Amino acid sequence: MNLTILKTFLYLSLIFMSLNIYSEKIEIKVGVQTICLPKDGTAITASLPPCTNKIPVDIYTPEDKKPVADVLVLNGWSFPRDDWQKKTRILKSAKEKGFRLIFPEMGKTNYESDYFPETKLKWSTTPGGKWVREFLLPALQQNGILIKGGKNFVMGLSTGGRGAAILGYTKPDIFNAAASISGDFDQATMPKDRLMTGSYGPYEENKERWETVDNVYRSAKDWKIPVYLGHGQADKISPFIQTKNFYLKLKELHPNLKIIFNDPKDAEHDYKYWDSEVDPIFQFFSSVK
């Protein structure tokens, strides 16, 4: 009898623990608020600063109006999460549109979904892309942000543009549309790229991995959501041809899908260009039903 009671107690305890993995909620205030999320583990609970050994995430909630949409905003390689806020008009434009914005501190990541024996560049114990899907999104949803069935978008610049495309591809059940500026989409065409090599191992020894893992260009036939693509033709950091080819592939495979491509001739890989794309991207998001 005692053994039966013990088994029942353990069973109920496991159920209780599973229900509380995402249990902690935070009051989301207007303006910019920072919350902290764990890098790994099983208990995905948000907390308030200080974010010691945790990942800080800024949430901007517009004043005087209920948010009409949530936008996940991804930074480029090694760019601080608040660069978007300090160097572009994004907060001002979000206030006008009524958009709530989420800025995770992603640091140095290719938004990779997995690590391999050859991986040299590791974002944390959890790969960056996997962390966004399995830690960030559930924690935000527990707090009423980026919930399924809501009006949700994802955007990013540079490596974050790559991340936005990967999330648009892997999470069409959450995101209604995506926007990528100055990003890259087919690492297999950049076999000498040191950052991609750091994530996926040497190209010559891992060709199939480079062509299939986190490669949205090679997976374009399964793309489902509207997308805004922007890339300056004078970009000397991220190849312009990456975005142009992705656009052409999507138009070929999905002629009826809403796709915008902006390729200013003199635009470079900088915040002058990225700032100029904020309003067109937000206008695009507003047009998506």
Give per-residue pLDDT as tens, 192-247.
999 999 999 999 999 999 999 999 999 999 999 999 999 999 999 999 999 999 99
Choose between 18 and 251: higher pLDDT.
Answer: 251
pLDDT band at 22 (very low <50, low <70, confident <90, very high): very low
Residue 35's domain is classified under what CATH number?
3.40.50.1820
AA identity, residue 78: S
Has residue 16 been placed in a domain?
Answer: no
pLDDT band at 10 (very low <50, low <70, confident <90, very high): low
Has residue 201 been placed in a domain?
Answer: yes
Instruction: In whole angstroms, give the CA distance from residue 280 to residue 136.
Output: 26
pLDDT band at 8 (very low <50, low <70, confident <90, very high): low
pTM of the model: 0.91
Has residue 275 been placed in a domain?
Answer: yes
Of 215, 209, 239, 191, the residue nearest 110 (C-alpha): 215
> Is the model's pLDDT at 6 over the cut of 80?
no
> Is the model's pLDDT at 58 over the cut of 50?
yes
Instruction: In whole angstroms, give the CA distance from residue 72 to residue 93.
Output: 15
Choose between 41 and 222: higher pLDDT.
Answer: 222
Has residue 7 been placed in a domain?
Answer: no
pLDDT band at 55 (very low <50, low <70, confident <90, very high): very high
Range of the domain at 250: 27-287
Question: What average pLDDT does the segment 46-70 reach?
Answer: 93
> Is the model's pLDDT at 1 over the cut of 70?
no
Q: Which residue has the tokens 């980026």?
A: 146
Instruction: In whole angstroms, give the CA distance from residue 289 to residue 283.
Output: 12
Has residue 220 been placed in a domain?
Answer: yes
The domain tally of the chain equals: 1
Backbone Cα Rg of the chain: 20
Give the C-alpha distances (Å, rounded to integers) separating 44 from 24, 28, 72, 140, 242.
Answer: 8, 17, 18, 10, 35
The DSSP element (H or E) to which 55 belongs, if any, is strand 54-61
* Across 41-50, 157-166, 238-247, least confident range: 41-50
* Contact yes or no for 94/60 (Cβ under 8 A): yes
pLDDT of residue 287: 97
pLDDT band at 4 (very low <50, low <70, confident <90, very high): low
Give the C-alpha distances (Å, rounded to integers) separating 13 from 17, 20, 23, 79.
Answer: 6, 11, 15, 42
Has residue 283 been placed in a domain?
Answer: yes
- What strand order describes the sheet that includes 152-157? 31-38, 54-61, 99-104, 69-74, 152-157, 177-181, 227-230, 259-262
Of 17, 46, 39, the residue nearest 143 (C-alpha): 46
Q: How many CB atoms lie within 10 A of CB 153?
A: 29
> Is the model's pLDDT at 145 over the cut of 50?
yes
Q: Which two tokens stand for residue 17?
A: 């623990």
Has residue 33 been placed in a domain?
Answer: yes
> Is the model's pLDDT at 48 over the cut of 60?
yes
pLDDT band at 15 (very low <50, low <70, confident <90, very high): very low
- Rounded to the nearest 5 degrees, what angle is found at the Cα of 242, between the Cα atoms of 240 and 246? 125
Q: Which residue has the tokens 């793309």?
A: 223
> Is the model's pLDDT at 18 over the cut of 50?
no
Has residue 246 been placed in a domain?
Answer: yes
